[in-house]
Amino acid sequence: MANIEDYLLWRGDLTLSQSPFNNVDNLILSNLIYLIFKDIVPELKTEKTSVFNKITNLFKQDNNSLNAVSIHDAIADMNILEEGKHRIRVSKDIEMAVKLAKTKRFGSMKLMYYVDKYDEDIETQFAAITILMEDNTAYIAFRGTDTSLVGWKEDFNMSFMDKVPAQEEALKYLQAVSSLINVPLRIGGHSKGGNLAVYSALHINKNVQDRIIRIYNNDGPGFKSSILETNEYKYIKDRIDTIVPQTSIIGMLLEHEEEYIVIKSNETLIMQHDPYSWEVLGADFVKMEGTTSSSHFIDSTLREWINNMTIEQREQFVDVLWEVMGATKAKSFPEMAESLFSNAFKIGKKINQLDDKSKDVLSTALSMLINSAKNALVAGFK
């Protein structure tokens, strides 16, 4: 079945004036930030601006004069023979970008304000880019979780922290970019990037919120229920498009108040998180009536498991889990998989060396997970 690569063949020769921006365009642009644009796309400068420059920026209406580079030129500047240098995920991202750059629809879009941060000390992984389009609107793309253990640790931290560093970075990024370009905005991301898109739009000042056309959460986790009850969230809720595959797992984590757009994937279970598996027909995704029973089971299990744990228990479990994985000295999951048996032995040895309290944290969490799965299974038969 057709996917976003086929979409480029169908719509790549049509400009936005000929075929308006749609949900598939959103996924393609949110996927672009999985590439590394260091020394290719102008970076966002965060130093304080002088009063003179602030006044000057007020009169800067010609967005074509901004320091930017087209998608076509940015991809051309990459040495794709060393494609591992320019991506943080799969090789298909580079292949897709090369095709994207050659299209009339995307090739002339301007890339600007690139940011890429990674900090083990504060446990954060964050990247963003702004894409200026021919219709004089901008799409701000936030990167999802990469393969680093730090990136995944930050995701787990969302279960007990009111805000994680990447969310704060996303808000700062939106504040900075919205002050530099005075155009209507679309904001989106895949996986954690979708969560960052919603978070930044939720907490930005109302003047900027009113410039936001749509917010796209492409199979990204939600939020703690307390956030969904705020007036700020209710103000933007109707502009959030949460797009999930029929057996979504990542997108079902934490809470969502907005309606889902459920689409068809040609993969199974966790592999449906892969945006290349999402099926496309014409200018839209292939829609489904709802998520599958497998997705409901996983969602119910994880939701009950998390809700039954106190904030302290969640934090302790995540810290002990990462302490155990840290015994491998690996920085990423691919690195851990390179010596799978050796690392499994190290993890087992580390578990045996844990003190009684840490062992109890792990066993209690595992027991609660099993009980939640049993409850979800029983509920499914009723």
Angle between helices 23-32 and 92-101 (to 10 degrees): 120
pLDDT in tens, 89-134: 778 899 999 999 999 999 999 999 999 998 777 778 899 999 999 9
pLDDT on residue 168: 95
* Residue 44 or 45, more confident: 44
pLDDT in tens, 186-234: 999 999 999 999 999 999 999 999 999 999 999 988 887 778 888 889 9
Pairing outcome for strands 280-281 and 284-285: antiparallel
Q: How confident is the model at residue 177 (pLDDT cuts 50, 70, 90)?
A: very high
Helix, strand, coil shares of the chain, percent, nearest 5, are: 50, 15, 30
The tokens for 131 are: 């894409």
pLDDT in tens, 12-30: 999 999 999 999 999 999 9
Q: How confident is the model at residue 47 (pLDDT cuts 50, 70, 90)?
A: low
Contact 309, 365 (CB under 8 A): yes
CA distance 4 to 344: 37
Instruction: Report the helix count and the strand count for the chain, using DSSP H and E.
Output: 16, 10
CA distance 160 to 309: 10
Q: What does pLDDT average to over the chain? A: 86
- Residue 365: CB atoms within 10 A of its CB come to 19
CA distances from 128 to 32, 171, 326 (A): 10, 11, 28
pLDDT on residue 32: 95
Q: Name the residue type at position 14.
A: L
- Residue 170: CB atoms within 10 A of its CB come to 31
Phi then psi for 167, rounded to 5 degrees?
A: -65, -40
Q: How confident is the model at residue 64 (pLDDT cuts 50, 70, 90)?
A: very low
CA torsion 362-366-367-373 (nearest 10°) is 160
The tokens for 305 are: 């498991």
Mean pLDDT of 49-58: 48
Q: Which of 65-74, 246-255, 277-286, 298-307 has the lowest mean pLDDT?
A: 246-255
Which residues, in sequence order, are CB contacts of 292 under 8 Å at separation 6+?
246, 247
pLDDT in tens, 139-160: 999 998 766 777 677 777 777 7
Report the range out of 64-68, 162-166, 307-311, 359-363 with the highest average pLDDT.
359-363
pLDDT on residue 81: 54
Please name which of 114, 104, 153 lies closest in space to residue 35, comparing C-alpha atoms.
114
pLDDT in tens, 306-318: 888 888 998 898 8
CA distances from 255 to 62, 162, 191, 197, 318 (A): 41, 13, 14, 15, 19
CA distance 165 to 54: 27
Q: How confident is the model at residue 381 (pLDDT cuts 50, 70, 90)?
A: low
Which residues, in sequence order, are CB contacts of 175 under 8 Å at separation 6+?
204, 208
- In this predicted structure, the answer to whether residue 49 has a pLDDT above a threshold of 60 is no
pTM recorded for the entire structure = 0.85
Q: How confident is the model at residue 58 (pLDDT cuts 50, 70, 90)?
A: very low
The tokens for 106 are: 């995307």
